[in-house]
Each structure stands twice: as C-alpha cells, then as structure tokens.
Amino acid sequence: MYKQIRAQTASFVRGFYSIINPDWLAMFSPIELQQLISGDSVLIDLEDLKNAFSFVTSCSKPPLLGFAYLEPPFCIRCVQYTNEDQDVGDTLGSVLKGFFGFGSRRGEEQARLPSASTCFNLLKLPNYASRSVLRDKLRYAINSNSGFELS
C-alpha cells in the first residue's frame, strides 16, 4: 500500500516541512502528532455539558444555548473559547467545572457578539431572540479566533 500512495505522502511531507521545522517534531509523541495532523475525536456527553453550566443572569429565563443542536466539534471550540489553556482532555465534563453562561436583557446587546473571560471560564451571551442568531453569533466569534476586540 505504501508504494501506491508514495507520491501523495511525499507531497504531504514536503508541504508539512515547509511550514514546520522537522526538528520541532521530536517534542511530540506519535499520538500527539497524529492529533495535530488529523484532529481529535473528543467524546461529548451533552448531559455532562448541561450539568456543568451555571447561569448568572437577570433574565426571566437563561439564554437559548441549544447545545444539543450544535455539532460536537463546534461544542469543543465553544469550550476552548472560554477555557484559558485550550485543553479539553478526553471528555468535556472535567474541564467544565465552573463554566458559566451570562445573559443580558438589554435590547442593544442583541447586536453584540458573545465574549469570553478565560480567567473565569466565563462565556458572556446576550439573550438572543433565537437559537439560530445565537449559533451564528457564537460561530462567528469563535471562528474569527479573536479575543475581546470583537465583543
């Protein structure tokens, strides 16, 4: 099989080495290197995720989180967005101790993006009118890889 994909493998290695110094790879185990290249398949227990949340809000009801409607990789990115060390481990439950959501009732807040205070594992969510608005705003904030400047 190696002979059949030799050209593709050589191209991948050349491209990989063009952006990462081969000497730096010595610090990674084979498993860590595999995770860097292929990503990670962290298991998400949605009940564990819900139980880890504590809402601090002046709203009559908590913000529309709708995590059950978000795909697992996005849930992980959401947790990473609020977690200073960015390490979510094998499951999310152990990371989420003290993970908070925050809602606001002020109408002008509807246009704001979610923001995070990583020191406190705090995700600040305006009380958006719908799950789709929440999902779109949260997705934009997280995928932009920005900090507080967009909030």
Catalytic residues: 119
Q: Of 140, 148, 146, which is closest to residue 122 (Cα–Cα)?
A: 148
Residue 113, phi-psi category: left (phi > 0), alpha (psi -120 to 50), beta (remainder): beta
Q: Is the dihedral of CA 68, 73, 78, 83 positive or negative?
A: positive
